[in-house]
Chains A and B, each alone.
Chain A
Amino acid sequence: MLGSIQGAWTAFLNFEYWPEIGSGTLDTLIMTGFSLLFTVLIGLPIGTVLFLTSWRQRSERPLAAKAQAWTYNVLSFIVNVLRSVPFLILLILLIPATRWLVGTSLGVQGSIPPLVIAATPFFARLVENLLREVEHGVFETCRAIGATTYQTVFWALLPEAFTGLCAAVTVTAISLVGYSAMSGVIGGGGLGDLAVRYGYQRFNTTVMMITVAILVLLVQLIQFAGDRLVARLSHR
């Protein structure tokens, strides 16, 4: 009995695919991390602009209101289009653009641009909704105090929405883990790539199961860390 457990353990340790699984996990982490970074850097301003030009924030002066309406409609349209294209199709459509941007459409590098383009509209909408949920009173107070738009956004709205933003980043990071696995299908690298190559093409179920287990663990860890951060920062 004891001998057989020991034997299984040794077999587990000597499993020949560990190095590949290790580097695949690292690739997934890199892809998720970098695309998350760019998604937040690009999505936060887009979400803020969406909020500032949305219907409720329209200026009383007709010309400014018209400019706001145009900005909102154009941005909102682009965001909706990008969100409605399935990620796998977006990946394929973006191949030329990705090549032009980073030189290749394969591997970790080639995965990051489509990941960012897929996640940014999603994150921007989250930001827009979060800012809308900041009590209307905060916005009114800023106006009444004579704050500029810059002061309102950076000194009041974003800090008030900060815990919500942390939660939104967590949700986005988790989607990115999933998307990054999908990008493996067209040679994106990482755990998804591993699962497709061994599990789908070579019927190696063990490797596939291990990659899935690692993905599950990763998602749990991100969610746990995000929840802890939100609980820590919440002053409500």
Chain B
Amino acid sequence: MIRIQNVGKTYRAQDGEFHALHDIDLTVAKGEVFGIIGHSGAGKSTLLRLINLLERPTVGQILVEGEDIGRFDEEQLRRLRHRVGIIFQHFNLLNSRTVEENVRFPLRVAGTMGRTEQKRRVAEVLELVGIADQANKYPRHLSGGQRQRVGIARALANRPHVLLCDEATSALDPQTTQSILRLLLEINQRLGLTIVLITHSMDVIRAVADRVAVLDQGRIVESGTVLEVFLNPRHAVTRALLAESGFESDSALGVAGGRGGHVLRLTYQGAAAGLPLLTRLSRDSGLDFSILQGSVGRLKDMPYGQLTVELERLEEERFGRLLSMLAAHEVRCEVLR
């Protein structure tokens, strides 16, 4: 769907050059929700804006649905932008226009529909995002969440194949954030729309993304499925981002008792997350586990669990048996001590 190959972006500043992005390579598959996460200044916004050429890459190639968009002329570029919707952190609605007119704006710009058809389409998307009753209001009369719904409706009006989300929930309170994220997921599933979103919050990634790339100082430092990255973060920046969202991964050892036992991190997902895993292990092995840290929950649709446990020090053979028992339950085990 989208391929970004060896892309770099350099700005010419007064005192030399500023490298906003280096050697970016990524592929977004059709129908997936792809998250890009990083601290502010990491280059997320620039990266997102490459996909509809609001920013032009200095080097490298960007393919959208197989076409090299860097070679597009003005007219082709405009048509590309009709196919790629975008929503913004601050919504960017026209304050002088009603909700209905805001959503109709891209349809008028594209000019492919007659007036009555435009109105019908507007009613349809307003219904889809759940604000059909607000059509004749002006943006200033709406709450933040409603405004972002208008933004989403506007982005969807031209039936895009890709939706870009630029920190779409960063200006919203937690509850509204959840409802907007649910809406994005629903749209993704119902319309099969490919979504690329950027955020600085792991919670957003956890709620909606299938795959994630971690961006730091203009480079992708880590990428993979959300589950992989969440449960097995490798880069320091990823860990820091996780910690900011309350997913501490390395503090468990500090809680461990002084008896010098083993400390294990057990990670499991899918059906295993629904089983009484720890008590079963304890019974079968005759060992006692103390839980040092744990998180159990759901990443998008996937239930998962991650527990850090401590147990008495075992001789090699018994420890080996425990490990194979864990493997039989499809539990990934890392020995921390």
Q: Which of A141, A142, A147 has the most CB of B within 10 A?
A: A141
CB-defined contacts of B82 to chain A, threshold 8 Å: 145-146
* Chain A 131-166 interface mask (CB, 8 Å, partner B; 1/0): 000010110111111111001000110011011000
User: What residues of chain A lie closer than 8 Å to B90, measured between beta carbons?
Assistant: 135, 137
Q: Is A60 in contact with chain B by the CB < 8 A criterion? A: yes
User: Which of A144, A155, A162 is close to B54, meaning CB atoms less than 8 Å apart?
Assistant: A144
List A contacts of B96 (CB < 8 A). Answer: 159-160, 162-163, 235
Per-position binary interface string of chain B over residues 107-142, scored 1 when its CB falls under 8 Å from any chain A CB and 0 otherwise: 011100000000000000000000000000011100
Chain A interface residues (CB < 8 Å from chain B): 60, 135, 137-138, 140-148, 151, 155-156, 159-160, 162-163, 235-236
Q: Is the interface of A mostly helix, strand, loop or mixed?
A: helix
> By the criterion CB–CB under 8 Å, are B94 and A138 in contact?
yes
- Looking at the assembled complex, report how far the CB atom of B102 sits from the nearest CB atom of chain A, in whole angstroms: 10
Q: Measuring CB to CB, which residues of chain B are less than 8 angstroms from any residue of chain A? A: 52, 54, 56, 77-82, 86, 88, 90-92, 94-97, 105-106, 108-110, 138-140, 154
Also in contact, A140 and B54, with CB within 8 A (given A145-B105, A159-B97, A235-B96) = yes
Whole-angstrom CA separation of A83 from B139 in the bound complex:
38
Closest A residue, CB atoms, query B137: A235
Do B140 and A235 touch (CB < 8 A)? Answer: yes
A68 to B139, CA, bound (A): 34
In the bound complex, residues from chain A placing their C-beta under 8 Å from that of B106 are: 145-146
For residue A137, give the distance in angstroms from its CB to the closest CB of chain B. Answer: 4
Minimal beta-carbon separation of B309 from chain A (angstroms): 50
Report which of A60, A137, A147, A155 forms a contact with B92, defined as CB distance below 8 A: A137
> Which A-chain residue is minimally distant from B97 (CB atoms)?
A159
Residues of chain A lying within 8 A (CB to CB) of residue B105: 145, 155-156
Interfacial chain B residues near A151, Cβ < 8 Å: 108-109
Pairwise interchain contact B109-A144, C-beta atoms closer than 8 A: no
Using Cβ atoms and an 8 Å threshold, which residues of chain B touch A160?
94-96
- Tell me the smallest distance from the CB of B197 to a CB of chain A, in Å: 15
Tell me, in angstroms, the Cα distance from A68 to B263 when the chains sit together.
Answer: 67
**Chain A residues with CB below 8 A from B109, complex form:** 142, 145-148, 151, 155
Which A residues lie within 8 Å of B154 (CB)? 145
A144 in complex: contacting residue of B52, B79, B97, CB < 8 Å? B52
B48, chain A: closest CB distance, angstroms: 11
A141 B88 Cβ-Cβ under 8 A: yes
How far, in angstroms, from A156 to B104 measured CA to CA in the complex?
12
Q: Which residue of B lies closest to A148 (CB)?
A: B78
B157 closest partner in A (C-beta): A145
Q: Which 6 A-B pairs have the closest CB atoms?
A: A146-B81, A137-B92, A146-B78, A141-B92, A235-B138, A145-B106
